[in-house]
Structure 1
Amino acid sequence: MTAQQSPPAPVMAWAERTLGPLAVLRGAAAEPPLGRAWDVVRTGDGARLQVKVALDPDAFTRETFAHRHAVPALGPGAAPRLLATSAAHLALIVTTLPGTPLTRLRLKEATLRTVHWRAGFLLAQLHQAARRTGTAHHDAPTDLPRLADEAARHLGTAGDRLSVDEQKRVMGLADRLRFVGRLPLGYIHGGPLGSSLLWSADAQLALRDFESARFAPAVLDFVDLACGPWAPQPGLRTAFFTGYGRTLGHDEELALHCLTALTAAHRLAEARAAEDKAPRTASRGE
C-alpha cells in the first residue's frame, strides 16, 4: 500500500499498540485538507475508527484541544469521540460516525430546512462552549484582517476570471472588512461545514473534523453555507438561524457579505491554480 492508502508505518504501529490489531478500510484526504485520515476497523470487535495525521503541530493542537474541551458540549453522538493522541506522530484516533455530508444530500426542501435548523442549534452549542474552555482570545481579532490581506493575492492568482470592475469590488469589500464593528466571538469549527456536517438515516446530525477549531468571530462559521446551499435556497438560512437562536447583527451581516465575496475570489484562485498545475503534471507523466 502507498502512504495515502494506509497510515505511515510508525503511526499504524502506534495505533495498533493503543487499540489492538487494525485493518485499513480505505484511505482518504481529511476535510478540510489539513492532514490525512484513514478509516480502520479493529479486528477484535469490528469497531470502526479513524486514524488522522495532522498537517502540522498547530492543527494537531487545535483538534486535540477541541475534542477535550469543546466537543463534549455537543452531546453524545453529535461528534466523534477522541480515543487517543500522539504528539510525536501528530496523530489522533477518533470514532467514526454514520451519515452523508450536507454537500451530498438530496432531500426535499422541507427536510433540508430541518437539517439546517439542527445545524444552527449544533453550531450554537459549539460557539457557546468557548465560555467553558478557558482558551485564549488574543488571536481572535486577527482573523478578519488576515483574510482581507489575502484578497489581493487571490485576485492575482484568479487573473482574468474576474473583470477589472469585479476585482475592484472585491478589494473594496476587503477594505470594508478591516473596519467592521465589534463582532460576537465564539469557539468556531473553522472548516467547511458543508462537508463536516453529517446527516444520518435516523435523522441525526453530527459534526466532524475540528483541525481548524479556534476562538474567533462566529460569523466565520457561516461563510461556507452562505456560499453554498443558502444562495439558491434562502429558506435554509432562515431555518439555520432559527436553530442558532439569534439573527445576525448589522456588522455581522456586513462581515458575512464581505467574507462571501472574498471566499468566491479564493475559490476562483484555487481553480485557476489547479488548471495551471494540470498541464505540468501531465507532461511529467509522458
Structure 2
Amino acid sequence: MQDRALAYASQVLGPCDVVKDHSWGHQWSSVVQLRDRAGHEWFLKQHRDRDRYLAEVTAYLRWVPTLSDHAPRLRAHDATQRAIILSALPGHPARWPTATIDPTQIRAETAMHHQAGALLRRLHNAHSEPQPQYAAARLEELELLTRQAANLLTPGELGFARTEIQALASLPAPRLVPCHRDYTMRNWLIDSGKVYMLDFEWTQLNAWVTDLTRLHIGPWRTRPDLRDAFLDGYGRELDDADRVLLRADAALTTVWLVIKARESDQESFERANREALHRLMAEAW
C-alpha cells in the first residue's frame, strides 16, 4: 500500500491504525483494513489499473446502493490514487461447498445460495438497457483475447470458444444489466445467515447469466442443488436461450481467466481454468 494512499485515508477519516492487510496475491489491487480513532473500521482499496478503479466507483455510485446494507458503503474515492474507502461489514468469507451428506450443512449451503440469488436479482434490477449488437460484441471480445492467448491455448480450444459464441447470433439480443462478473463465494461474506456482496471492480453491463458463469463452472458442477436454490432465490429459471448464453459466456470466461492467471503467475488458478475449459468442451461433444 502506497504511503500516499494511507495519507489520503487519514485526510478523509482522521488518524487511523492499520488493522490487517487483506490484499490478494494477484496484486491487481491492495486492500487494507483500517480503524479510526472512534473505533470504526474501514477498508482502503487501491487499484493498480485505472479501468478497475473506474468500474468499481461506477458500481458503487450507480447500482450498489440498491443492495442497501448487504454491501459496503462508499465513503470516499480519489482518482489520482485510484483509491476507494469503504465501510466494513460483519461476517466471515463464505466457504466453498464440499461433498457432504450432513443435512445441517446442506441446509446452510442451500440457504446461502438462495439468498445470494435473491441479492443478485436486486443488483440486476438496478438498471436494464438493450444491446442489439450483443453477439458481435462478444465475438469481438474473444478476438481480442485470442491474440493474447495465442501461446497459451490451442487452436482447438480457441475454436471451441468461437463456436459457442457464434451460436449467440441465432438468439434475440439479451438486455444488459449491471453484472458483478466475479460472483463467487470468495466475494460473499456470511454473518448469522445473512449474505453480503463484495468487490465490484469487474462490474459492467452484460446479460444476466454472466453472473452465473463462475458458479456454473465451479461449485454447481457437482452440487446442482445449490444451482436450483440460487435460481429459486433469483426468481427465474434458465430457458433454452439462457443456456446458450451461459455456454458462450463460460467458454469466453475460461479463456479470459487462463490469460489473467498467467499474467498474475497463479499456476493453480490457470490449471483449474484449463480443466474447466476442457470440461465444457467434453460436454459439448
Maintained 8 Å contact 1:183/1:251: no
- Per-residue CA deviation, residues 148-201 of structure 1 (Å, 9 max, x unaligned), is 325534653434xx6x7555433322332455432132111122433212222x
| Aligned pairs (5 A) from 1:109-124 | 109-124=106-121
1:246-261, aligned counterparts within 5 Å? Answer: 246-261=236-251
> 1:126 aligns to what?
123
2:94 and 2:186 in contact (8 A); partners too: yes
Compared CA separation, residues 115 and 154, structure 1 to 2 (3 A): farther
Give, in whole Å, the separation in 2 of the partners of 1:25 and 1:222.
34
In 2, Cα distance between the equivalents of 1:265 and 1:253?
Answer: 19
TM alignment of 1:190-209, pairs within 5 A: 190-200=181-191, 202-209=192-199
Alignment counterpart, residue 99 of structure 1, candidates 77, 81, 91: 91
- State how far apart, in whole Å, the 1-side matches of 2:140 and 2:190 are: 33
> Are 2:199 and 1:242 equivalent residues in the alignment?
no
Change (3 A) 1:40 1:157: farther
Moved more, 228-237 or 90-99: 90-99
Question: Residues 73 and 126 of structure 1 are in contact (CA less than 8 Å); yes or no, is this contact kept in structure 2?
Answer: yes
Q: Is the 8 A contact 2:131 2:175 kept in 1?
A: no
Contact 2:26 2:266 in 1 (8 A): no
2:40 is the counterpart of 1:47 = yes
Q: Which runs of 5+ in 1 are unaligned?
A: 1-6, 277-286
What is the one-letter code of the residue matched to 1:213? Answer: T
Q: Residue 85 of structure 1 corresponds to which residue in structure 2?
A: 77
Percent identical among aligned pairs is 25
**Residue 11 (str. 1) matches residue 8 (str. 2):** no
The reply to whether residue 73 of structure 1 matches residue 66 of structure 2 is yes
Matched residue SS, 1:210? coil
- Paired residue secondary structure (1:248): coil
Cα offsets for 1:65-103 (capped at 9, x unmatched): 222221121122x00011111122221100122333345
| 1:265-276 mapped onto 2 (5 Å cutoff) | 265-269=255-259, 274=265
Contact 1:145-1:177 at 8 Å conserved across structures: no
Structure 1 residues 229 and 27, CA gap change in structure 2 (3 angstroms): same
TM-score, structure 1 normalization: 0.78
Residues 210 and 32 (structure 1), Cα distance of their counterparts in 2 relative to 1, 3 Å cut: farther
Rounded Cα–Cα distance in structure 1 between residues aligned with 2:245 and 2:27: 25
Residue 75 of structure 1 aligns to a residue whose secondary structure is helix
Cα distance change on mapping 1:110 and 1:157 into 2, 3 Å: farther
Distance 1:57 1:168 in 2: 31
Contact 2:43 2:88 in 1 (8 A): yes
Question: In 2 relative to 1, CA 66–227 (structure 1 residues): closer, same or farther, beyond 3 Å?
Answer: same
1:169 is aligned to 160
Amino acid paired to 1:129: A
Between the aligned partners of 2:26 and 2:232, the Cα distance in structure 1 is 27
1 CA distance for matches of 2:72 and 2:66? 12
> Deviation of residue 126 (structure 1)?
0.2
Deviation at 1:216, TM superposition (A): 1.8
Aligned pairs (5 A) from 1:49-64? 49-64=42-57
8 Å Cα contact 1:186-1:218 kept in structure 2: yes
2:212 counterpart of 1:222 = yes
SS of alignment partner, residue 29 of structure 1 = coil
Q: Any idea what SS the aligned residue of 1:211 has?
A: coil
What SS class does the counterpart of residue 220 from structure 2 fall into?
Answer: coil
1:27 pairs with 2:17: no
CA-based RMSD of the aligned residues comes to 3.0
Deviates more, 1:51-60 or 1:122-131: 51-60
